């Protein structure tokens, strides 16, 4: 039985990836049909190549050549199909920093294509599928100056696992990501009681989903994942430490999982992009609201070739009227939020603005009573990346709060100005400093403190690391 092994497709950058992949596919065919030089024993480099070994199972040269041509054509076509799929995926994913990491993963997975030999009766092995596993995460700590007090804080440290399996034109992907209680222990000494508290959890779930991508037909995922609503909110949520105070994605001090606005719980999402149009829709199915459909969301964005994009997102969560009747200020309506945003990216410059309006998505505790309220606000973010590794950025968050309750202060709301800088000291490491000048007031009207931070962040990804070596 003859087995021909073809090397993995090697993709280059976003502009030249398809051409290089096609060229690599042809090289793979040539390498399979022609013998390799043995450089180990060829001291002078002039040794003649070894003669081609006869192909078992063929009695005539004409049959041998015809069969080899059929194999080469089939293999080349398969390589080109894989390269085109990956190139299309890369060209459509410019949304956020996480999607830029996805490009690196797809390129490296393509390099690691595995050959299979087929069944017992198959005379020539062809590629069936290939897979890869990324182990990624972040370690980040900073010193925080808050009310003349210095503390060391964890800045969203995490680790994750992301397996990718390519089967023909389909990409099956799973992802599990956990927040790490980094920088402090799991036990704390209580000075008031003299006891040791062990309430801190070392890990908590950020993401957990599985699904597949069907190339030009879109992608479907199931589980706890980034919501389609956040696809638009992310445009201004680009600060290293603060931000996200007006868009409403992370409402009521949570990750937005319950209402479906941030890292949505128990959801099915579908995303599709074609010629600058990006569309997403989402259904949420939990077991806590006694409904078939507990919430839904839609998002639509359009990107122009010169870097300008506009988008809108809407999220609707059906609420349990029995529980909401106990909340002060609730108007017997569901939780609804609408975001509209615009962004522009050109070379090293990026700017984005967002407007948000919401009802019954935020809740605070005033004394022993919970109060819900309406919000109307805006976010702004701008950044310039210098060529020597330094990035400077700034922006603001503004949100006006109103409620049908006297428990909420008339002065309550968000007004924060942020400014910061990052300096890359390696491929995966950067120093950062970010400050927040705050004029925000909490639910009872107490002004919030201004804060300054200085920190170090290490991002790691085995796929990205291999791609740089």
> Residues 387-402: what's their mean pLDDT?
96
Q: Which helix (H) or strand (E) holds 270?
A: strand 263-274
DSSP 289: S
CA atoms within 13 A on the CB side of 318: 14
**Is 3 within the bounds of a domain?**
no
CA distance 113 to 126: 11
Q: How confident is the model over 421-434, as pLDDT tens digits? A: 999 998 899 999 99
- Structure confidence at residue 3 (pLDDT): 39
Same domain, 139 and 105: no
DSSP H helices in 149-271: 230-233
Assign 441 a pLDDT band (cuts: 50, 70, 90).
very high
Same domain, 254 and 327: yes
Q: State the first-to-last Cα distance of the chain, in angstroms, to the nearest integer.
A: 36
State how far the alpha carbon of 142 is from the alpha carbons of 39, 126, 153, 154, 187, in Å.
Answer: 52, 51, 6, 7, 21
Nearest 5 degrees, angle CA 133-CA 138-CA 144? 170
Domain boundary among 83, 111, 139: 111
Asked if 284 contacts 228 with a C-beta cutoff of 8 angstroms, the reply is no
Same domain, 253 and 105: no
pTM: 0.73
**Is 427 within the bounds of a domain?**
yes
Percentage, residues of the chain above pLDDT 90: 57
Same domain, 106 and 150: no
**Is 11 within the bounds of a domain?**
no
CA distance 387 to 298: 37
Same domain, 328 and 412: yes
**Is 357 within the bounds of a domain?**
yes
State how far the alpha carbon of 313 is from the alpha carbons of 227, 248, 297, 358, in Å.
Answer: 10, 11, 7, 12
Compute CA 255 distance to the chain's CA centroid, rounded to the nearest angstrom.
15
Q: How confident is the model over 194-243, as pLDDT tens digits? A: 566 665 678 899 999 999 999 999 999 999 999 999 999 999 999 999 99
**Is 428 within the bounds of a domain?**
yes
CA distance 231 to 249: 10
Same domain, 69 and 177: no
**Is 135 within the bounds of a domain?**
yes
Same domain, 325 and 238: yes
Domain boundary among 77, 111, 145: 111
Compute CA 440 distance to the chain's CA centroid, rounded to the nearest angstrom.
30
Same domain, 36 and 144: no
Q: How confident is the model over 158-179, as pLDDT tens digits? A: 999 999 999 888 999 999 999 9
Assign 469 a pLDDT band (cuts: 50, 70, 90).
low
Using only the alpha carbons of the chain, give its radius of gyration. Answer: 27
Domain boundary among 42, 76, 111: 111
Same domain, 152 and 229: yes
Instruction: Kindly report the length of the chain.
Output: 469
CA distance 142 to 216: 42
Same domain, 98 and 208: no
Asked if 228 contacts 269 with a C-beta cutoff of 8 angstroms, the reply is yes
CA distance 336 to 316: 5
DSSP 253: G
Same domain, 67 and 135: no
| 139 closest CA partner among 336, 447, 445, 429 | 429
pLDDT at 90 over 50: no
> Dmax over Cα atoms in the chain, in whole Å?
94
Chain position carrying tokens 């192909």: 55
CA atoms within 13 A on the CB side of 30: 6
**Is 12 within the bounds of a domain?**
no
What does the block give as tokens for 7? 């090397």
- Structure confidence at residue 392 (pLDDT): 98
Asked if 416 contacts 396 with a C-beta cutoff of 8 angstroms, the reply is yes
pLDDT at 35 over 50: no
Burial zone of 357 (CB within 10 Å; 0-12 exposed, 13-18 middle, 19+ buried): middle
Q: Which CATH number does the domain housing residue 344 bear?
A: 2.40.160.10
Give the domain range for residue 100. 17-111
CA distance 318 to 310: 28
Domain count for the chain? 2
DSSP H helices in 34-60: none
What does the block give as tokens for 338? 């609408």
DSSP 378: E
Same domain, 95 and 137: no
Q: How confident is the model over 181-192, as pLDDT tens digits? A: 887 776 666 656
> Residues 294-301: what's their mean pLDDT?
97
**Is 7 within the bounds of a domain?**
no
Assign 138 a pLDDT band (cuts: 50, 70, 90).
very high
């Amino acid at each position: 039985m003859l087995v021909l092994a073809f090397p993995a497709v090697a993709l280059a950058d976003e502009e030249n990836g398809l051409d290089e992949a096609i060229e690599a596919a042809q090289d793979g065919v040539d390498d399979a049909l022609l013998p390799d030089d043995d450089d180990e024993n060829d001291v002078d480099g002039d040794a003649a190549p070894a003669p081609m070994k006869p192909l078992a199972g063929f009695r005539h040269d004409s049959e041998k050549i015809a069969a080899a041509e059929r194999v080469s054509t089939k293999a080349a076509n398969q390589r080109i199909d894989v390269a085109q799929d990956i190139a299309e995926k890369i060209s459509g994913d410019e949304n956020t920093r996480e999607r830029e990491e996805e490009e690196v993963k797809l390129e490296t997975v393509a390099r690691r294509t595995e050959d299979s030999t087929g069944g017992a009766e198959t005379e020539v092995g062809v590629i069936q599928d290939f897979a890869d596993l990324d182990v990624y995460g972040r370690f980040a700590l900073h010193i925080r100056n808050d009310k003349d007090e210095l503390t060391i804080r964890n800045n969203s440290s995490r680790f994750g696992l992301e397996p990718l399996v390519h089967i023909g034109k389909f990409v099956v992907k799973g992802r599990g990501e956990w927040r790490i209680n980094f920088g402090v222990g799991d036990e704390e000494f209580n000075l008031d009681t003299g006891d040791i508290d062990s309430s801190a959890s070392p890990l908590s779930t950020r993401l957990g989903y599985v699904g597949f991508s069907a190339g030009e037909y879109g992608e479907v995922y199931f589980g706890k994942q980034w919501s389609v609503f956040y696809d638009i909110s992310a445009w201004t949520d680009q600060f290293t430490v603060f931000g996200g105070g007006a868009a409403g994605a992370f409402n009521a001090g949570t990750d937005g999982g319950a209402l479906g606005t941030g890292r949505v719980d128990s959801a099915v999402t579908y995303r599709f992009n074609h010629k600058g149009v990006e569309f997403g829709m989402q259904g949420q199915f939990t077991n806590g609201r006694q409904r078939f459909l507990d919430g839904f969301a839609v998002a639509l964005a359009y990107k122009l070739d010169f870097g300008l994009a506009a988008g809108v997102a809407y999220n609707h969560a059906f609420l349990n009227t029995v529980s909401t009747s106990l909340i002060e200020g609730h108007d017997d309506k569901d939780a609804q939020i609408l975001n509209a945003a615009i962004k522009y990216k050109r070379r090293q410059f990026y700017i984005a603005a967002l407007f948000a309006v919401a009802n019954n998505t935020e809740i605070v505790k005033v004394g022993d009573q919970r109060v819900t309220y309406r919000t109307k606000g805006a976010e702004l973010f701008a950044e310039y990346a210098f060529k020597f590794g330094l990035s400077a950025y700034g922006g603001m968050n503004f949100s006006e709060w109103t409620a049908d309750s006297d428990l909420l202060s008339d002065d309550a709301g968000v007004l924060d100005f942020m400014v910061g800088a990052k300096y890359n000291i390696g491929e995966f490491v950067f120093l950062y400093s970010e400050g927040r000048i705050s004029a925000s007031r909490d639910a009872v009207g107490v002004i919030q403190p201004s804060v300054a931070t200085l920190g170090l962040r290490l991002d790691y990804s085995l796929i990205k690391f291999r791609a740089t070596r």
